């Protein structure tokens, strides 16, 4: 009887030990599973942490491309060349002409070499006519000094000069005759000018200042 109890007790102890040994691997496996899940979570966090970095890299690439395009567009703008062309097209031309004035006694005309400046060929005649307004010499009187030149145009061989004549610009008979001669000599020094039409405020006048009759148009003599 005692032997049977001892055998039963031994069996219980063996079963208990076996049960204890069977639970240890399970707990160890649980720990490993936990660690594995943590490892998976960590790797997932690493994957998630890479996403903003990749987004930043993408933004930097876009910004880099935008900067390249901006600099390229800026470099492709060629305004300097156009400016240089315009400056060459509007370059001033200087030439020397003959202008006519009179002495302080208004006895005769005096021919003077004058330098004029203009930008276009059509402006040459206006510059020549307006040179009669100032002699640059205190001993020479500018017969057209107080006359207002409204317009000067050239077409088909005819030079048309439109003026306004203030009262202070009016001269006596001798001065009026010299003034007309000065204008004619200045205009007809250009071979292409075949006739001269002198208008007062846009209209043909019988006389310039009331003394000398005007011909419309005046031609070379």
pLDDT digits (tens, 9 = 90+) for 142-194: 999 999 999 999 999 999 999 999 999 999 999 999 999 999 999 999 999 99
Domain count, the chain: 2
Q: Is 82 a domain residue?
A: no
Q: Is 84 a domain residue?
A: no
Confidence band of 124 (pLDDT split at 50, 70, 90): very high
Q: Is 206 a domain residue?
A: yes
Q: Are residues 135 and 170 in the same domain?
A: yes
Confidence band of 30 (pLDDT split at 50, 70, 90): very low
Percent of residues, the chain, with pLDDT higher than 90: 56
Q: Is 83 a domain residue?
A: no
**Residue 3's Cα: distance from chain center in Å?**
120
Q: Domain range spanning residue 10?
A: 2-77
Q: Are residues 101 and 171 in the same domain?
A: yes
- Residue whose pair of structure tokens reads 């076996």 in the numeric block: 18
Q: Is 87 a domain residue?
A: no
Q: For residues 186 and 188, what is the distance between their CA atoms, to the nearest angstrom?
A: 6
Q: Are residues 108 and 211 in the same domain?
A: yes
Q: Are residues 134 and 188 in the same domain?
A: yes
Q: Are residues 116 and 211 in the same domain?
A: yes
Q: Are residues 108 and 39 in the same domain?
A: no
Three-point CA angle 169, 173, 178, nearest 5°: 75
Q: For residues 33 and 38, what is the distance between their CA atoms, to the nearest angstrom?
A: 8
**Reduced to 3 states, what is the DSSP secondary structure of residue 177?**
helix
Q: Are residues 153 and 100 in the same domain?
A: yes
Query: Once rounded to an integer, what is the mean pLDDT over residues 207-219?
Result: 95
Q: Are residues 199 and 134 in the same domain?
A: yes
Long-range contacts of 38-44 (CB under 8 A, 24+ apart): none
Model-level pTM greater than 0.85? no
Q: For residues 98 and 203, what is the distance between their CA atoms, to the nearest angstrom?
A: 28
Confidence band of 44 (pLDDT split at 50, 70, 90): very low
């Amino acid at each position: 009887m005692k032997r049977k109890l001892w055998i039963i007790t031994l069996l219980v102890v063996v079963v208990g030990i076996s049960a204890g040994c069977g639970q240890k691997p399970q707990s160890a496996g649980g720990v490993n599973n936990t660690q594995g899940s943590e490892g998976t979570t960590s790797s997932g966090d690493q994957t998630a942490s890479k996403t903003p970095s990749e987004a930043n890299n993408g933004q930097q690439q876009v910004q880099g491309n935008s900067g390249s395009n901006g600099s390229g567009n800026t470099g492709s703008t060629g305004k300097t060349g156009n400016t240089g062309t315009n400056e060459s097209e509007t370059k001033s031309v200087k030439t020397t002409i003959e202008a006519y004035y009179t002495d302080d006694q208004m006895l005769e005309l005096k021919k003077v070499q004058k330098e004029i400046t203009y930008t276009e060929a059509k402006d040459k005649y206006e510059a020549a006519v307006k040179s009669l307004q100032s002699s640059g010499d205190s001993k020479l009187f500018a017969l057209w000094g107080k006359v207002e030149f409204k317009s000067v145009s050239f077409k088909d061989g005819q030079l048309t000069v439109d003026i306004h004549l203030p009262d202070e610009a009016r001269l006596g008979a001798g001065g009026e005759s010299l003034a007309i001669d000065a204008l004619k000599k200045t205009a007809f020094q250009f071979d292409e000018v075949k006739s001269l039409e002198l208008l007062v405020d846009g209209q043909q006048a019988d006389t310039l200042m009331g003394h000398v009759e005007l011909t419309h148009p005046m031609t070379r003599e």
